[in-house]
Each structure stands twice: as structure tokens, then as C-alpha cells.
């Protein structure tokens, strides 16, 4: 949709929207403006609330708070819709690639053939990391979790690639290409170091996902045969994770970036937030749950009864925003089938996953609680089938999310309202009291 049509639709909806919202506090009425988004979502702008009333709002978890205005991603949790820059995720999954989608998320439009060629070449040229970083990796424990290594080395990139306080467009484009490309090299290096194998360098002859898979799984004594089905499954995984509105890690990127910290530190903060079990680590938890069911020997139906009795935890179902089937899960489910149908593939956990899904989609316990399968339910199965160890799952999430983090960082830097984020709180501690000398305590 053209920007002109977007503005027209926004204006039409704005005309139908309330002009303002009235709030009554201690007998007095206050007016606050209403902001209307392109798709008709409405927000009460309370920027002046504390100054005019002395009150603040309390919204633990921030699920009712809009922290910014953004033109990157739209999602509708009630209808199960997700769009990057207005384009439905289903259309991108059917026709696009991760590299092309990364360009769309970053720059707002699908690239023309020449633009995509230049962007791809820039990613390829940026794929090498500074050779001195090998010493950095060697100083880290061999048993360290790949996410611990990734957060550390990404933050350290500013030492190898200094960032000016004032960035021009060329600087931004260089940083974008470096981070989108180098994070996969850093991820592969982290994995190789953790298993004691030599690092495999990227090659200009291979495309984005092919390069990553080769760096991960090839070695001087073992060639790696690139499989088109695996390449496409991983490309889709990365594409479906490219951005997802103001989730925990993205909000962290915006918060850290609001202080004008260097971009490598900002992205490292996002990676740290992603590491959490309730965020990027959820697909690992799904695999652990399925393997636990398999090892226990009990039926899936029996496990579900244990779930209902709060004797087990359910992972991979439900979402903070989606109240219906996660659209990304629908796409990954099909490709999970394609991957696991391949000769030689054996995944008992997938059969358990299918049975669990079938029960959930017709059981009132799940339906009444909006517990539909989410993207984590299938992404872990795909990564495991593709040969990735469980401790690399969240690392791949970070690779996929990098374009979104950078797009959000860039949008925030150029916004008219570019303030440092500084939430308030409601203090619940002791009232005023005074210091007591040590001998009188």
C-alpha cells in the first residue's frame, strides 16, 4: 500500500475517532488526546498526565501501554495477523527470503532487483569478523553457553568497529550490514569453540543461510552437504522471527538505545533479554517438554490431565498477544512436516507434538484459555531436525531478530520525540525513618 493511501486511510479513521478522552480525578475532569493508528487501533496520550494531575498510571508488564509509535510491524492478536511494513507474513513466507525481508524491515519497501543485489553483496562483504577476535573467543571457557558468548562478543564489537556519536546514513548502512551478517559468523564461531572444532570461515560463493549452515556444520575432516529443504526451513525460521512489535527484547533495545549508547551495546542488551526462558528460550523448553513426555512413557492424554491438575507445565501454547492460532506457527507447521518426511529423519517428539496439538485444538480447557500452538511449538522441532543442538536455539532466534532490532533502533534515532526512557514507579517500602547507630540496633 502506498504511503499516500496509508495517510488517507489513517485520516478517515481519525475523523471517526474520538477527539479526546476525559479522565475524572478527585472531582476534576482532564482531557487527553487520542492517537489513532493506521489500522484503527487507539491510544490515549497521557504524556501530560503527571504534570497536570500529579498521578501516574500503573501497568505492570506494560501490556496496556504503548511505548512508541512505529511503522515497522503490525500484529492483531485477536485475528492472528502479522505484517511487516504492511505485507502479511503469509505472503512473505510464500514468496520472499530472509535477506529480502531484512531489507523490507530495515528500509520500509521491498528492494528492487539492483537494491537487493547491492544489499546481498554488502552482507557477504561484512561476514568476516576481525581476526583479533579469535583471541577473544579463546579467552572464554569452552563449556560456556553460546548465548553467554554471543552477548559478550557482540558488545565487544564496538572495540573492533568504533561507532561515532554522530552517524550519517552511510555509517548506519554499514552498521546494519555488519550486524545482520556478522551475528551468524559469531554464532557459528561460538558453537565451534564450544565443541573444540576449528572455525570455518564464510564464503562469498554462498548465500546467507547456506553460509551459516556451512560455518556451523562443516569441518576440515567432514564436508557438509547443503540440503535445499533444510536451507528453506531455516530461512523461513529467520524470516518469521525478523520482528514482532514491542516484545521484551525489542523494548529493551529501544530502552537501551534511548540513552544513545553505541549500537553494539544496545543490541547486546536485546540479546540478553532474548535469552530468557519466557522469551527466546521458549522453543528450547518445548523440546525439553516433549522429550520429558517421551521419556516418561505416559500417553499424551495422560500428560494433558496432569497439565490440567497443575502437575506439569505447558510450553509452546498461548501467547501474550495472540488469542488465536499464531500465524507463524501455521507456516512452520507445514515446513516441519516437509522436513520430517525426508528419508532418514526420525523424530518421535514430532509425533507427540502432533498428538498434543490435536488434543489442544478440540479440548475446552485449551480453547477457553486461548491456548493455541505458538511459533515456539514448531520452531524447536525444525531446529532439532536440522541438526542444531538445543543450546543454539535462542542464538538462531537472535540471528533472525537482528533486522527488527536494528530497524527499531534506527526508527527511534530518527523519531521527532527522541527521549531517554525513564518509567516511574509506585513506592511500597517503609515510610520516612532515620539512621540508627550500630550499638543501638
Q: Which band of pLDDT confidence, cut at 50, 70 and 90, is reported for residue 437? A: very high
The larger pLDDT score, comparing residue 351 to residue 9, is at 351
**Tally of domains in the chain:** 1
The single-letter DSSP state of residue 320 is: S
- Asked if residue 365 belongs to a domain, the reply is no
Which residue in the list 241, 244, 319, 335 is annotated as catalytic?
Answer: 319
Name the residue range of residue 25's domain. 7-81
Mean pLDDT taken over the chain: 89
Helix or strand run (H / E) with residue 192: helix 169-195
Could you count the other beta carbons within 10 Å of the beta carbon of residue 205? 9
Please state, in angstroms and rounded to a whole number, the distance separating the CA atoms of residues 150 and 153: 5
The x, y and z cell numbers of residue 311, run together, are 502437575
Q: How does pLDDT run across 398-422, given as a tens digit for each residue?
A: 999 999 999 999 999 999 888 899 9
Amino acid 289: pLDDT: 92
143 belongs to the catalytic site: no
Residue 309 C-beta-side C-alpha neighbours within 13 Å: 7
Amino acid 249: pLDDT: 96
- Asked if residue 73 belongs to a domain, the reply is yes
- Asked if residue 107 belongs to a domain, the reply is no
212, 179 Cβ separation under 8 angstroms: no
Please state, in angstroms and rounded to a whole number, the distance separating the CA atoms of residues 80 and 173: 33
Q: How does pLDDT run across 72-125, given as a tens digit for each residue?
A: 999 998 899 999 999 999 999 999 999 999 999 999 999 999 999 999 999 999
The residue assigned the cell 504503548 is 66
376 belongs to the catalytic site: yes
84, 104 Cβ separation under 8 angstroms: yes
Q: Which band of pLDDT confidence, cut at 50, 70 and 90, is reported for residue 3? A: very low
- Asked if residue 139 belongs to a domain, the reply is no
Identify the burial level of 379 via C-beta atoms within 10 angstroms of its C-beta, where 0-12 means exposed, 13-18 middle and 19 or more buried: buried
377: pLDDT strictly greater than 80: yes
Instruction: Estimate the crossing angle of helix 327-340 against helix 228-240, to 10 degrees.
Output: 170
Could you count the other beta carbons within 10 Å of the beta carbon of residue 35? 14
Q: Which band of pLDDT confidence, cut at 50, 70 and 90, is reported for residue 12? A: low
- Asked if residue 20 belongs to a domain, the reply is yes
Identify the burial level of 359 via C-beta atoms within 10 angstroms of its C-beta, where 0-12 means exposed, 13-18 middle and 19 or more buried: middle
Q: How does pLDDT run across 237-263, given as a tens digit for each residue?
A: 999 999 999 999 999 999 999 999 999
- Asked if residue 51 belongs to a domain, the reply is yes
- Asked if residue 68 belongs to a domain, the reply is yes
- Asked if residue 164 belongs to a domain, the reply is no
Please state, in angstroms and rounded to a whole number, the distance separating the CA atoms of residues 219 and 357: 38
Which residue in the list 376, 414, 434, 439 is annotated as catalytic?
Answer: 376
Amino acid 11: pLDDT: 47
Amino acid 345: pLDDT: 67
Amino acid at each position: 500500500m502506498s504511503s499516500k493511501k496509508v495517510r488517507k486511510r489513517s485520516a478517515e479513521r481519525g475523523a471517526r475517532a474520538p477527539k479526546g478522552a476525559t479522565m475524572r480525578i478527585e472531582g476534576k475532569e482532564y482531557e487527553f488526546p487520542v492517537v489513532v493508528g493506521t489500522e484503527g487501533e487507539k491510544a490515549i496520550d497521557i504524556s501530560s498526565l503527571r504534570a497536570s494531575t500529579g498521578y501516574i498510571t500503573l501497568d505492570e508488564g506494560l501490556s496496556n501501554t504503548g511505548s512508541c509509535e512505529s511503522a515497522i510491524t503490525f500484529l492483531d492478536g485477536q485475528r492472528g495477523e502479522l505484517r511487516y511494513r504492511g505485507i502479511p507474513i503469509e505472503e512473505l513466507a510464500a514468496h520472499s527470503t530472509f535477506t529480502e525481508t531484512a531489507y523490507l524491515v530495515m528500509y520500509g519497501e521491498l528492494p528492487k532487483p539492483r537494491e537487493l543485489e547491492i544489499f546481498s553483496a554488502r552482507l557477504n562483504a561484512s561476514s568476516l569478523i576481525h581476526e583479533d577476535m579469535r583471541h577473544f573467543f579463546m579467552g572464554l571457557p569452552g563449556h560456556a553457553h553460546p548465548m553467554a558468548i554471543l552477548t559478550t562478543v557482540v558488545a565487544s564489537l564496538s572495540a573492533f568497529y568504533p561507532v561515532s556519536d554522530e552517524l550519517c546514513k552511510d555509517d548506519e548502512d554499514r552498521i546494519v550490514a555488519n550486524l545482520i551478517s556478522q551475528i551468524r559468523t559469531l554464532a557459528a564461531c561460538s558453537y565451534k569453540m564450544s565443541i573444540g572444532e576449528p572455525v570455518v570461515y564464510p564464503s562469498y560463493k554462498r548465500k546467507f543461510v547456506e553460509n551459516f549452515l556451512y560455518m556451523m556444520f562443516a569441518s576440515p575432516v567432514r564436508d557438509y552437504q547443503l540440503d535445499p529443504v533444510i536451507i528453506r526451513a531455516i530461512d523461513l525460521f529467520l524470516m518469521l522471527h525478523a520482528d514482532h512489535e514491542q516484545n521484551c527484547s525489542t523494548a529493551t533495545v529501544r530502552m537501551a538505545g534511548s540513552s544513545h549508547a553505541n549500537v553494539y551495546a544496545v543490541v547486546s542488551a536485546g540479546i540478553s533479554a532474548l535469552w530468557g526462558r519466557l522469551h527466546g528460550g521458549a522453543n528450547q523448553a518445548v523440546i525439553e517438554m516433549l522429550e520429558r513426555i517421551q521419556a516418561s512413557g505416559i500417553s499424551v492424554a495422560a500428560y494433558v490431565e496432569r497439565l490440567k491438575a497443575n502437575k506439569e507445565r505447558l510450553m509452546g501454547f498461548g501467547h501474550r498477544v495472540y488469542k488465536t492460532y499464531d500465524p507463524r506457527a501455521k507456516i512452520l507447521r507445514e515446513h516441519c512436516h516437509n522436513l520430517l518426511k525426508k528419508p532418514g529423519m526420525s523424530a518421535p517428539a514430532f509425533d507427540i507434538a502432533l498428538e498434543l496439538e490435536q488434543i489442544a485444538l478440540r479440548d475446552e480447557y485449551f480453547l477457553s484459555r486461548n491456548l493455541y500452538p505458538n511459533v515456539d511449538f514448531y520452531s524447536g522441532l525444525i531446529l532439532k531436525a536440522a541438526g542444531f543442538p538445543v543450546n543454539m536455539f535462542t542464538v538462531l532466534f537472535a540471528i533472525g531478530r537482528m533486522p527488527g532490532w536494528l530497524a527499531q533502533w534506527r526508527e527511534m534515532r530518527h523519531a521527532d520525540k527522541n527521549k531517554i526512557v525513564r518509567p516511574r514507579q509506585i513506592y511500597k517500602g517503609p515510610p520516612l525513618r532515620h539512621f540508627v547507630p550500630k550499638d543501638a540496633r
